[in-house]
A and B are shown apart, each in its own frame.
Chain A
Amino acid sequence: MKRRAVLIGCIALWLGAPGAAGDAHEEAVLRSSRSSVSAGASLPLSGSDFAGSETYQLKLLGVLNEYDVGQVAADSAGVFTHQLTIPADVTPGAYQVVAVASDGDVVARLHITVLGGGAGGAASQAGDHSGGADQEGDPSSAARHDDIRIERDRSGMEWGVIGLVIGLAAGVGLGLVRKAVA
Chain B
Amino acid sequence: MNETASSPEPRDEGATGRRLALEALDYAIPRGANRWTYMLGGLTAFLIVVLLLTGVYLAQFYNPTPAGAHDSVLYIIARAPFGDWIRSLHYWATGAVTLTISAHLAYVFWRRSYKRPRELTWWAGVAMAGLLFLLIVTGTVLRYDQEGFEALAHFVSGGGLTGAIGTFFTEGFTRSTSLLARIFSLHTNLLPLLLVGLMALHFWLIRHLGIDANYSETSTFRTHATRLMGVSLLVLAFLGLLALFAPENLGYRPVAGVEITKPLWPVLWVYGLENLLGVWGMVVGPAAVFAFLAAVPLLDRGSDDRPGLRGWVSWLGVLLGIILVALWLFGVFGPRQQHLGM
Contacts and interface: CB of A to CB of B under 8 A. Distances in A.
Interface of A: 62-64, 92-94, 113, 123-132, 135, 139-140, 142-148, 150-154, 158, 161-162, 165-167, 169-170, 172-181
A172 B233 CA distance: 7
Contact of A144 (B81, B178, B224, B251): B251
Interface of B: 34, 63, 65-68, 70-72, 74-75, 77-79, 81-82, 84-85, 145-147, 149, 152-153, 156, 171, 178-180, 223-224, 226-227, 229-237, 240-241, 244, 247, 249-258, 260-261, 336, 342
Task: List the 10 closest pairs (A to B, CB-CB), nearest first.
Answer: A131-B256, A176-B230, A173-B233, A94-B68, A180-B227, A177-B230, A147-B249, A132-B257, A170-B237, A63-B71
A180 B336 CA distance: 48
Contact of B78 (A143, A151, A175, A181): A151
6 contacts: A94-B68, A123-B257, A128-B178, A140-B255, A140-B258, A152-B78
B241 A166 contact: yes
A169 B240 contact: yes
A178 B227 CA distance: 8
Contacts of B252: 143-144, 146-148
B129 to A, nearest CB: 26
B230 A129 contact: no
Given A63-B68, A139-B257, 18 more contacts: A63-B63, A113-B68, A126-B66, A126-B253, A126-B254, A126-B255, A131-B256, A139-B255, A144-B146, A150-B249, A152-B84, A166-B241, A167-B237, A172-B230, A173-B233, A176-B227, A180-B34, A180-B230
Contacts of B153: 129
B81 A93 contact: no
Contact of A176 (B34, B145, B229, B260): B229
A143 B260 contact: yes
B251 A145 contact: yes
A136 B216 CA distance: 73
A130 B171 contact: yes
A170 B233 contact: yes
B255 A125 contact: yes
Nearest to A146: B251
A169 B237 contact: yes
A180 B223 contact: yes
A175 B77 CA distance: 33
Contacts of B235: 173
B78 A94 contact: no
Contacts of A64: 71, 74-75, 78-79
Contacts of A173: 229-237
A158 B82 contact: yes
A172 B153 CA distance: 44
A4 B262 CA distance: 57
B15 to A, nearest CB: 14
A63 B72 contact: yes
Contacts of A147: 249-252
Contacts of B149: 126, 131
Contacts of B84: 152, 154
Contacts of B66: 126-129
Contacts of B229: 173, 176
A166 B234 contact: no
A126 B256 contact: yes
B126 to A, nearest CB: 30
Contact of A127 (B67, B231, B244): B67
Contacts of B67: 92-94, 113, 127-128
A162 B85 contact: yes
Given A131-B256, A172-B233, A63 B75 contact: yes
Given A125-B253, A128-B178, A179-B226, A139 B258 contact: yes
Contact of B85 (A144, A153, A158): A158
A174 B238 CA distance: 12
Contact of B146 (A93, A94, A145): A145
